[in-house]
């Protein structure tokens, strides 16, 4: 047998790690998620509770004079469905981006956005506002939730920034978990003494987009924009952090400062999301995992953008389903996400890809 016959050429990508991803692939998934988002936004404007059919809503959006003259149809599309759609995009983008940041900074693919105690701080502030300050409107609850979430995150950052291990992943997680447990206990104590506020708090904490108004979203848009821009600015340092703390230091980065900056951005994003929709579970965990699976080896910035788009897609889809699953009543969005997120979380935990699903550089 000749040498030419005995030696077979090595196939490209046949090594242990498999073929390297094409640089076009992340862009394809981002465009696909964006196209799906546009379709879901249109579906959210067309589908809803009430007597307005999708055809009537389409005629209104198309500029039909008869449809535009219908005050009830205008209220359904512009006054109810449009704010919910914008809120779903805002909440999804914030939670998806925050989850991706947090998982990359802690190098833990199971890290979720409630780790920094923002949800618990927002819940405690809402209970205080309901009980002692007479807050009853949705706008007032939004303000209290935002202030409480940001105050909780500030305390966590102060605790994590002290000591010789300032900014370490373990210190961030421990500080957030301890503060979250403390706020949860205080919330339960206040609710036990004032049962009159329990019904309002129960409706807020279950997580829903019902009743959201455009005027309530406007003050949060600048804060969410700052948080998203800060997340993009953290992309390059996080990529260096993916090489390990020593690798990041060799490239001129300070791991503790990177994690503290990430924690600040996460707190701002999660605070905005919790203020709008209440605590939403699983979304900040599942969207980043899906983004990493689809864009293995891609840059951190691509993962951040795709995480935000996937989370926004899932949030809008869940909100549309919440309106039609048990018509004429409505299912809270968080309940639908829990039905989907629970089994998926079990599958992720049992998946052989879990060990390779960490944030890549």
For residues 221-230, average pLDDT: 91
**pLDDT for position 49:** 66
pLDDT single digits (tens) 249-261: 887 778 878 888 8
Q: What percent of the chain has pLDDT over 90?
A: 22
- Specify which of 131-140, 304-313, 332-341 reaches the highest per-range mean pLDDT: 304-313
Distance CA 361, CA 357 (A): 12
pLDDT band at 95 (very low <50, low <70, confident <90, very high): very high
pLDDT band at 41 (very low <50, low <70, confident <90, very high): very high
Distance CA 272, CA 194 (A): 27
pTM of the model as a whole: 0.82
pLDDT single digits (tens) 154-205: 888 777 766 665 556 777 778 888 888 999 899 988 888 777 778 778 877 8
Q: Is there a contact between 112 and 349 (Cβ–Cβ < 8 Å)? A: no
Tokens (6 digits) for 89: 């995009």
**pLDDT for position 25:** 80
**pLDDT for position 361:** 40
Q: Which of 217, 229, 203 is nearest to 89 (CA)?
A: 217
State the chain's mean pLDDT as an integer.
Answer: 81
pLDDT band at 307 (very low <50, low <70, confident <90, very high): very high
Q: Which of 230, 312, 231 is nearest to 276 (CA)?
A: 312
Helix axis angle, 300-324 to 82-106, nearest 10°: 140
Distance CA 114, CA 266 (A): 10
Q: Which residue has the higher pLDDT, 48 or 86?
A: 86
CATH class of 85-209+216-356: mainly alpha
pLDDT band at 276 (very low <50, low <70, confident <90, very high): confident
For the chain, domain boundaries: 85-209+216-356
Q: Is there a contact between 31 and 295 (Cβ–Cβ < 8 Å)? A: no
Q: Which residue has the higher pLDDT, 266 or 196?
A: 266
Through-space distance between the first and last CA atoms of the chain, rounded to whole angstroms? 46
**pLDDT for position 165:** 59
**Residue 328 CA: distances (Å) to CA of 74, 81, 331:** 20, 15, 10
CA 275 to chain centre: 13
**pLDDT for position 351:** 63
């Amino acid at each position: 047998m000749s040498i030419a016959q005995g030696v077979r050429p090595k196939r490209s990508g046949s090594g242990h790690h498999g073929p390297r991803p094409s640089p076009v692939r992340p862009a394809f998934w981002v465009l696909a998620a964006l196209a799906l988002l546009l379709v879901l936004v249109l579906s959210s404007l067309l589908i809803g509770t009430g007597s307005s059919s999708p055809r009537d809503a389409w005629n209104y959006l198309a500029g039909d004079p008869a449809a535009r003259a219908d005050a009830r149809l205008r209220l359904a599309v512009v006054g109810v469905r449009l704010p919910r759609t914008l809120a779903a995009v805002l909440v999804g983008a914030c939670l998806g981006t925050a989850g991706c940041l947090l998982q990359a900074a802690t190098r833990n693919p199971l890290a979720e956005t409630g780790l920094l105690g923002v949800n618990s701080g927002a819940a405690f502030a809402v209970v205080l506002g309901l009980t002692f300050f007479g807050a009853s409107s949705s706008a007032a609850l939004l303000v209290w939730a935002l202030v409480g979430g940001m105050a909780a995150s500030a305390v966590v950052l102060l605790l994590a920034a002290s000591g010789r291990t300032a900014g370490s992943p373990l210190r961030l997680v421990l500080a957030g978990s301890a503060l979250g447990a403390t706020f949860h206990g205080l919330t339960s104590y206040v609710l036990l003494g004032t049962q009159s506020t329990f019904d309002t708090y129960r409706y807020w904490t279950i997580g829903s987009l019902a009743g959201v108004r455009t005027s309530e979203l406007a003050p949060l848009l600048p804060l969410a924009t700052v948080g998203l821009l800060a997340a993009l600015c953290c992309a390059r340092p996080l990529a260096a952090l993916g090489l390990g703390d020593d690798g990041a230091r060799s490239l001129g980065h300070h791991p503790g400062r990177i994690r503290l900056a990430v924690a600040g951005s996460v707190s701002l994003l999660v605070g905005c999301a919790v203020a709008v929709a209440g605590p939403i579970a699983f979304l900040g965990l599942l969207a980043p995992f899906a983004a990493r699976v689809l864009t293995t080896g891609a840059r951190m910035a691509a993962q951040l953008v795709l995480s935000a788009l996937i989370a926004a897609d899932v949030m809008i889809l869940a909100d549309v389903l919440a309106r039609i699953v048990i018509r004429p009543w409505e299912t809270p969005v968080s309940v639908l996400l829990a039905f989907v997120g629970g089994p998926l979380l079990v599958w992720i935990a049992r998946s052989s890809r879990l060990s390779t699903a960490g944030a890549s550089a």
